[in-house]
Structure 1
Amino acid sequence: MDLPILVTIKPWLNFFHPLLMWVLLGLSIYAMYLGVQIRRTREAEGDTKKELIKGKFNIKHHQIGSLLLALMVLGTLGGMAVTYINNGKLFVGPHLLAGLGMTGMIAVSASLTPYMQKGANWARVSHISLNTVILGLFGWQAVTGVEIVQKLISKM
């Protein structure tokens, strides 16, 4: 199926996924900062706690986390779709498998929210651990993704 519009934008589709993922990497780092601020707020006392509460870090963290979850799932599916559209197949390798793993982990991490809201420390530890692994994999994905983009550019 070679629609004229698809033929026109097909080469540029390769760059949507990498750009989105770099934005998500930055948002992930910001979400981590907000999470640290939530922990500081929870552990603070007196005037310090009152001042930290004004930052509304918990609301911002939930909003950024929701955005990350949605865009990670859509970005993963989109990256796979573009690969298939351009090549007629998926390349099953470390980059794809790590990306799928990260997508599953972020879903599990987000699903822990109700337990954390009820004060379950195991859920907080699990949430933090999963997100730390995700952030580490994200850094590795960024490097391997740049290598893939460089291969695509060299073929243009």
Structure 2
Amino acid sequence: MIMDIPEPLKIYSQFFHPALMWILLALTVYALYLGVQIRRTRSADKEERKELVKKNFNSKHHIVGSVILAFMVLGTIGGMAVTYINNGKLFVGPHLLAGLGMTGMIAVSASLVPFMQKGNDIARYTHISLNVALLGLFSWQAFTGVQILQRIISNF
């Protein structure tokens, strides 16, 4: 079923998902930076730790991570919805499958936070590993998304 949506809205709606994802990719790199700073704080000597704790990296990492989680899930659903509305189907391929995998990875990564807060190192290393893999997939997704966007633009 193709919904009857005004043509300008159908055209411009196709650009929201890519723009959101590029913003989220940048935020993901920032979350990585904050996570590295948290690790640095944990391993610092007493004086350096005092200074690093004042910068509140932990809180910032949680906030940025929460924003990324929420908007990645909504962006994935939105991208699929716009594709379906504009084409009457989803194009099952590497971009869609990797995006769905990434959405699952970030959900699992976020679900490990309570265990990490209790000092579980396995949860911590799993969180880090998932997020490094996620960042790699996200970078690849950004470029395959640009290729898809170029095809969309060439159809105008």
TM range (shorter): over 0.9
Once the two structures are superposed, residues 35-55 of structure 1 have per-residue CA deviations (whole angstroms, 9 ceiling, x without a partner) of 000001111122100000011
Q: How does 1:66-77 map to 2 (within 5 A)?
A: 66-77=66-77
| Cα separation, 2, equivalents of 1:108 and 1:98 | 15
Q: 1 CA distance for matches of 2:119 and 2:135?
A: 24
Q: Counterparts of 1:8 and 1:61 in 2: how far apart (Å)?
A: 38
Q: 1: CA distance between counterparts of 2:35 and 2:15?
A: 30
CA shift digits 1:48-100 (9 cap, x unpaired): 00000011000000000000000000000000000000000000000000000
The aligned counterpart of 2:88 is 88
Any gaps of 5 or more consecutive residues in structure 1? Answer: none
**1:32: how far off?**
0.2
Q: Which residue of 1 aligns with 2:103?
A: 103
Matches within 5 A, 1:49-60: 49-60=49-60
1:91 aligned partner, one-letter code = F
CA distance in 2 between counterparts of 1:99 and 1:2 reads 27
Aligned to 1:9: 9
1:144: Cα distance to partner? Answer: 0.4
| Amino acid in structure 1 at the alignment position of 2:49 | K
- CA-CA distance at 1:7 after TM superposition: 2.5
Write the distance in 1 (CA, Å) between the matches of 2:125 and 2:8. Answer: 48
Supply the RMSD in Å over aligned alpha carbons.
0.7
Following superposition, which runs of at least 4 residues in structure 1 exceed 3 angstroms of deviation?
none
Q: Give the aligned partner of residue 123 of structure 1.
A: 123
- TM-score, normalised with respect to structure 1: 0.97
Aligned length: 154
Scaled by the length of structure 2, the TM-score of the pair is 0.97
Identity of aligned residues (%): 68
Q: Matched residues in 1 for 2:96 and 2:108: separation?
A: 19
Letter in 1 for 2:154: S
Q: Give the Cα separation in 2 of the matches to 1:8 and 1:19.
A: 17
